[in-house]
Amino acid sequence: QQKVQQSPESLSVPEGGMASLNCTSSDRNFQYFWWYRQHSGEGPKALMSIFSDGDKKEGRFTAHLNKASLHVSLHIRDSQPSDSALYFCAAVMSNYNVLYFGSGTKLTVEP
């Protein structure tokens, strides 16, 4: 069973719009999360991490964590065509820094 579940599977937003991605962990051993983005033909690149309850903002990207429900979300405001990519939520196993990835959300930003 996958330790991290992501939704939606795919998402399409207009340029300038808001994209919202969701992630839930089924394992309470996970308390630290990353969001990674993967463009076609490239390896994933880290966007941001979160481990405290509440919001964390970095530029156009805002991550939110609810530790009680182990729910993580990523919101992208003013979406750009260059944001079109595969987005992964990943939970971290602390002792070994291993990433357990969700199934990904394919984001398409339409000009």
Partner 1 sequence: ETAVFQTPNYHVTQVGNEVSFNCKQTLGHDTMYWYKQDSKKLLKIMFSYNNKQLIVNETVPRRFSPQSSDKAHLNLRIKSVEPEDSAVYLCASSYRPGNYAEQFFGPGTRLTVL
Question: Which residue in the set 72, 92, 107, 109 belongs to the binding site for partner 1 (CB under 8 A)?
Answer: 92
Q: Counting contacts by CB under 8 A, is residue 49 touching partner 1?
A: yes
Would you state the structure tokens that stand for residue 90, as one six-digit string?
């990943």
Which are the contacts of 70, defined by CB distance < 8 A and separation ≥ 6? Answer: 24, 25, 26, 27, 28, 30
Which are the contacts of 48, defined by CB distance < 8 A and separation ≥ 6? Answer: 34, 35, 56, 58, 61, 63
Question: Which residue in the set 13, 32, 56, 108 belongs to the binding site for partner 1 (CB under 8 A)?
Answer: 32
Residue closer to partner 1, measured from CB, 37 or 62: 37
Q: Counting contacts by CB under 8 A, is residue 27 touching partner 1?
A: no
Q: Which residues in the 52-71 window bind partner 1 by CB under 8 A?
A: none
Query: For residues 46 and 63, is the Cβ–Cβ distance under 8 A?
Result: no
State the residues that interact with partner 1 by CB under 8 A: 32, 34, 41-46, 49, 51, 86, 88, 92, 94-101, 103-104
